[in-house]
Each structure stands twice: as structure tokens, then as C-alpha cells.
Structure 1
Amino acid sequence: MRIPRRLLAHRVVIERYRGEGPVGPVYHPPGRPVPALVSERVRTVRDRTGTEVTSTAQIIADPDLDCPAQSLITLPSGRQTTALHVAQHTAPGLPVPESTEVFCE
């Protein structure tokens, strides 16, 4: 079961991280706005290396969201942030919705 579309009241724009180039990070062009639920609050989380960092926004979206860590994300407020950690939430056989959670810098 997927997260109900009616709960995804916001739209975010993602520039997917491609890797490092000769002058720094390289990103794919911005994609179409993606339905999401955005919470701009401060939390302590671990990044992809396991280091404790501060997340200032969390995004819940469809389970098939393509947003690698270090991607650039434009929030509904217009603020641009970076994906610190991406978590897939699945529960095969259980009556709970599957989703993707993105913790942002």
C-alpha cells in the first residue's frame, strides 16, 4: 500500500546528485514538482557516513522517489536545501503505507 496522495499536500523540486566533477558537485537538471509532505523543523539525524548532523526539513513522498543523498531540493517555501539521508519505509504484508523519507540539511 502506498502513502495516500491526499496526504502529500506540498510540492518539491529535486535536482538529483550525479557525482563529483572537476569543479565540484554535478546535478541533473531540475525535475517536475513532486508531491510530498514537508515538515520544516530541526532534528538531529545521521548522514550517509554515520555522522550526527542537524536536519532542518523532512520530506515524506511516494516510495519510488528518486532522490539520492546530496541532491538539491527546493522546498515549498522557496528555500533550497541538500538531502542528507534518504530512508525507504516498507512493510510487506502489513496494512501501513510505504513511503520515502528524506532528511534535509
Structure 2
Amino acid sequence: MPAIPRRFLVHTITVEEYLGDTSKGPKYGPARTVRCLVDEKTRAVRSPAGEQVTSTSTAYAGPEEQDVPPLSRVTLPSGRVTKVILTARRDGRGLGTPNHVEIQLE
């Protein structure tokens, strides 16, 4: 199956990519909007470091979206500001599932 249908991407989030730490705190890139579907469901996920953490939201974006680095700052449609735990690219390779990018959020 090709990409997740655009008609399902009914939300937009603002993403500021994490660039690293400075002496004044975290540094972020310019804000960009991402069209997605936001699911505000709490679940346990593994961080890139292997720790089990709680994700309060997941954003599902089209496969054309670039990966969003962990610790990037995200503003949800509700106005809540959160951070990325991890990003996973989902490619069904012909299995009938929609290809998409999954962004797990704190």
C-alpha cells in the first residue's frame, strides 16, 4: 500500500529539531509545520537509549516526512509543548499497510 491517505492527516504540529546542547541550554532549529494525525494515548515505549518511558501522544505523518531527532520540541494542536522520544519509519513493503512516519512524544 502506498502512503497513509492524506485525508487522515487532519492535524498539524510544529516541530523544532533538536540540534544539541549549548552553555545556555538546548538549541533548536527553525520551526516547521508537519501535517499528521495525532493520537493522544498514553503508552510505554523504549527510548533510543533502551529505557522504558511513557509516551503521552503519537503523531502519524506521511512517509515523505523526514525523521525527527529525539529531544526535538513539538507543539501539538492543543498548544501543549512536548519532546520527541523517538521516530520510526513504517514501510509495509507491499503488505497492505500504509507507509508512514510514527513520532512518539513525551
TM-score past 0.5 threshold = yes
SS of 1:14's equivalent in the other structure is strand
The alignment yields a C-alpha RMSD, in angstroms, of 1.1
**Residue correspondences, number:** 104
1:1-105 equivalences under 5 Å are 1-31=2-32, 33-66=33-66, 67-105=68-106
For residues 94 and 39 of structure 1, the distance between their equivalents in structure 2, rounded to whole angstroms, comes to: 23
Query: What is the TM-score normalised by the length of structure 1?
Result: 0.92
SS of 2:31's equivalent in the other structure is coil
For residues 15 and 5 of structure 2, the distance between their equivalents in structure 1, rounded to whole angstroms, comes to: 21
**Pairwise CA distance, 1:25:** 1.4
SS of 2:101's equivalent in the other structure is strand
Structure 1: tracts of 5 or more residues without a match: none
Query: What per-residue deviation string (whole Å, max 9, x for no partner) do you get for residues 46-79 of structure 1?
Result: 1110100000111100113231111100000000
Structure 2: tracts of 5 or more residues without a match: none
Query: What is the TM-score normalised by the length of structure 2?
Result: 0.91
